[in-house]
Amino acid sequence: MRAAFAQNFAEAKELGAAFAAVRDGEILCNLWGGHADRARTRAWAADTLVPVFSVTKPIAALIVARLAGHGLIDYEALLAQYWPQWGAGKEGVSVAQALSHQAGVCGFLEPIDPALWLDPPALAAALAALAPLWPPGSASGYHPLTWGYIAGELVRRVSPRSLGSILREDICAPLAIDFHIGLPDSEHARVAEIQRPTEFPELGPLTPIKRAAFLTRWAAPDRGGAQWRQVEIPSANGHGTALAMARLYQAYADGGTIEGQDITGPSAFAALTRIRIEGPDLVLPSLQAFGAGVIGNAYGVYGLNRAGFGHSGWGGSMGLADPAQKLSAAYVMNRQSNKLQGDPRAQRLIAALYEAI
């Protein structure tokens, strides 16, 4: 693992990075190196935090499942049952469909103020009133940012606590896991600077739907500032270490439990991880297998077990879980590539991990 990790640096593919793997609660490796800033004056440390973008989604999805396990959410119920304002042709969308990227609202075709992304209730209200870009339930179209506002608003509708608060109070604080959706000001100094990619993401032939999801001037807020870190965006602004992510992804390797703590309950975990739609996606250029917030490993991006789970994040970050091995792993970095899935740096580390075990 050390050799594979070092090779990514030797080939000048990294600025700073970390990789961790956990099996059945045991830390198999926890590697970090490089620099946490673009000027290369601050060494990456064991507790350096990094935004992991969409690798946040399966972690946030655990909170929805936790509430489902407590009887507060039914995946098969209509989302409008919990969120009456959810309409404009989307009234028939179930919770599970919305969380598996089938709701048809992957972005906004018409301009919005990008600052709206930093006001989750306002953005959620705009989504509720947005007409779908395709017939809901007929296809998946990856919702890179909007997924988190749907999940966050659903939690807000059924719980007095926010999604990020539940994650912090019920899971991360008791287990001493250094991961945050909604980063306190006191932790901002630990965050690595991001070196953004120089090329657009590889999306294949462009369509209006893909442009709405990723490529308009209003498709995302200004990412990287203090306000971006502070607000809760459960689709995209989780901050943590590689080890923290690997420990959280243990839930997907061990039936909804982390180090003996039941996070979701068995029935809710089954509902979360059941593949809801599989095949061509209207936004991503490759075949996908979506559960209600996690990606099934049917196409082998996330390790050797095709019955496993994972997710990728903007720029190359990745988390995976292999239930057969009770294995989870995570890769984070601050030099982004334009790969939406299958970043070669992460794939090298995954291959070395499986060879090692």
Which amino acid type is present at position 120?
P
Partnered with residue 30 across adjacent β-strands are 20
Is 102 in contact with 94 (CB distance < 8 Å)? no
Nearest to 345 by CA among 39, 31, 42: 31
Q: Which residues contact 211 (CB under 8 A, 6 or more apart)?
A: 107, 109, 219
Structure tokens at 168: 């912090």
Alpha-carbon gap, residue 357 to 352, rounded angstroms = 9
Inter-CA distances, 249 with 141, 258, 271, 311, 323, Å: 24, 8, 17, 10, 10
Inter-CA distances, 240 with 88, 141, 177, 185, 245, Å: 37, 27, 9, 14, 7
CB burial class (10 A; 0-12, 13-18, 19+) of residue 356?
exposed
Alpha-carbon gap, residue 48 to 237, rounded angstroms = 15
Alpha-carbon gap, residue 267 to 271, rounded angstroms = 6
Q: Which residues does the annotation mark as catalytic? A: 54
Buried/exposed 10-42: b ≥16 CB within 10 Å, e otherwise: eeebbbbbbbbbbbeeeebbbbbbbbbebeeee
Determine phi and psi for 349, rounding to 5 degrees: -70, -40
Alpha-carbon gap, residue 67 to 302, rounded angstroms = 27
Nearest to 69 by CA among 61, 81, 78, 59: 61
Is 58 in contact with 254 (CB distance < 8 Å)? no
